[in-house]
Amino acid sequence: MSDVIDIANEHADYLLQMSIAQHQRRTVGHATSAEFCADCDEAIPPLRREKVQGCQTCVDCQQLRERRV
């Protein structure tokens, strides 16, 4: 059962880290967007990273992903 407790502790720690990160992001004023597309490694334009907060892909790959769904 100790594994379960370890996972719970790690999860609580993760949530804490996330809330700290979110607070820092809010202070800075924007969410962290990927600099490079997660799918094709193209550089994501700064304007897109700013507008689509937390985006992980370029426009093309985002459209492909949405079409796939």
- 58 lies in the site for Zn ion, by CB under 5 A: yes
CA-nearest of 31, 43, 27, 38 to 61 is 38
Taking the complex as a whole, the smallest distance from the CB of residue 44 to Zn ion amounts, in Å, to 8
Question: According to the binding rule CB under 5 A, does residue 55 interact with Zn ion?
Answer: no
- The b-or-e profile of 3-35 (16+ CB within 10 A means b, else e) is eeeeeeeeeeeeeeeeeeeeeeeeeeeeeebee
Report in angstroms how near the CB of residue 39 gets to Zn ion at its nearest: 5
For residue 38, the minimal CB distance to Zn ion (Å) is 7
Summarize as ranges the residues that interact with Zn ion (CB under 5 A): 37, 39-40, 42, 58, 61
